Structure formats: structure tokens, C-alpha cells
Structure 1
Amino acid sequence: MEASEVQHSLPPQDYPTLAGLPTEPQALFDWLRAQVPSGKGDNARRDAVSYAVIKSMLRENVLPSSVKATLLRVLALIPGVTQSTDPVDFDGRPAIAVGMVQDRWRHEDILLDPTTHEFRGCRTVVVKDHTTPEGGRLQEGDVEVELIRVTGKIVDGPGQTS
């Protein structure tokens, strides 16, 4: 992969970098893992970060369709990622939830349209009672975060909605 001339961070957000990402699932998974500095628990940490980066890329970017499709295929390569077709999103629409337990106490889901596989949103559900660093208590079953994308459009300029 050629590096974009735009300095990128993780996750990449500039279109030239996004468009230049590998479109073969194993190659993109290897690229994601290589972005995480080595350290304690390398593979598990790299897998968790790879999942979080994919979630962020789907949530925050306009992606080339080939890259979006590859990101969804990479999710199947990450150990610990599960899929459920039972959930509904906050608006009551059916969804496919592709998720992973993070930090041993929360389950993060990427919510996808069951027909088009378009990003619908994401949510985090507490799977083990947890106390936050600030002293807040989260109980198993609590929905910590839920984000739903109602619509998205590309427009010609700032302030336009259609």
C-alpha cells in the first residue's frame, strides 16, 4: 500500500488514505494489527484495537465501497467477534449486530442493516458489573452507549442537507 501524502492517524479519516487501504481482508487485517504498537498481550490487544478502529471507520467516514466491504469481511477474521441477527436498533428496526467484548466488562456492537449491510449504528452493553474510574457504577445489562444513524448524505457544501 502506498502511503497517502496526508498525515494520517488511527483510524485514518482522509479519503486518500481510506481509498488506498488494502481490499483483501487478510491484508487489511494485517495492516490494522501493524498500526498498534507492540506491548503486553499483543494479539488480544491488537484484535481489540482492530475491532474498535473498524467500528470508528464505519461510523465516522465516507468509505469507498470496496474498503467498506473489506472492513466487514475483516470482522470475521478477528478472534472473539460474534454475530447476532436477533437484535433491533434503538428505533426498533431489525439489525445484524457484530460485536466483541472489550475490557472484560462491556460488549460493543456494530449494527448493520440486515439487507444492505449499511452501518446503522453502534451500542455498548455492560456484560459485567463495573465501577468507572470516577466512581460511577454500571450494572450488567445497562446500555452504556447507543448511536443510531438515521440518514447520511454527501452534499456540495457546509450547511446543506440535501
Structure 2
Amino acid sequence: MSVLLPNMADFDTIYELEEEDERVASEEQHLARYWPEPVAMRGAGHITVFGLSNKFDTEFPSVLTGKVAPEEFKTSISRVNACLKKNLPINVKWLLCGCLCCCCTVGCSLWPVICLNKRTRRSIQKLLEWENNRLYHKLGLHWKLSKRKCESNNMMEYVILIEFLPKYPIFRPD
């Protein structure tokens, strides 16, 4: 019994795309142009610490009608708001303390606030990943925390982006 091994010289060779592959790639680019824009959920709270608002609005966006149930959407946003409600008041207290001591510590008193804010962002990102794996990837949606420029000024803010995942044609042969 003999086994055919591939020629190692051909292993790193780059081949040009065949016409069928080029056609498939152009179809995917064509579909991407008509894919809906992501939904940006801006912060709706009255306190913002380093771009992170203290709550997000639970109002259901009309773009998501037929994609996700309004109850599931509200539950997910409520989980994010609960995480913010737990962590952001501590950040505000440290920010006030850091600002009072800023002149004496040459700005080093603001490091705890920066670290706490980073920890809050990571916990929200982990929560959103859990939500994605639990429900939203199955529905063709992807939630993530993203930094965006404010519409009214040059400040940066964190928003929840709800992206639509493309549906791949699983019946098309490789």
C-alpha cells in the first residue's frame, strides 16, 4: 500500500483565483453593500465617566423588529445597565477624590479611576459576549461595546453596536 504525500515545494505556492472563486468573491462583496448598517445604542444616563454612560436606553429600536424579541432585547440591556449601576458609582467617587488630589499627586491619583473604568468596560464586553453566545449569534446578530465620536462635539463615547451577521450560503459547494 502506498501513500501519496504532497510535494513540499508546492506547499507555499500561491495560486491565482479561478473564475468561479472570483465570481463567489464578487457576489459576497455585492451582498455586503446591501447589508444593513449596525444599530448604535448610545448612552442615555446623566453621568458619563471617560466616555462610559451610567445607563443605556431600553427602548426597542424598530430596525430590530423581526430579528429579536423586544423582551430579550430589554433583558439584555437591563443586564448591561445593572453592571453599570454596580460599577459606575464607585468610579465617580474615585474620580472626585482623584480630582481633589490631582495637584498634589501630579495626576497619579486618577489612575484608580482609569483602571476601574477599564475593568467596567471589560465586564460589559464579557457580558455582551455571553449574550452573543447564548442568543444573538443564533439570530444573526452580534453585540459589542465600541468607541465612537459624539455627534454633538469632538468627545468620544462608548456605544453598544448591534451588527447584522451575514448569512453564508451553506448549500453552495466548496
User: What TM-score do you get using the length of structure 2 for normalisation?
Assistant: 0.23
* Greater C-alpha Rg: 2
Structure number with higher relative contact order (C-alpha < 8 Å, ≥ 6 residues apart): 2
TM-score by length of 1: 0.24
More strand by share: 1
Structure with the bigger percentage of helix = 2
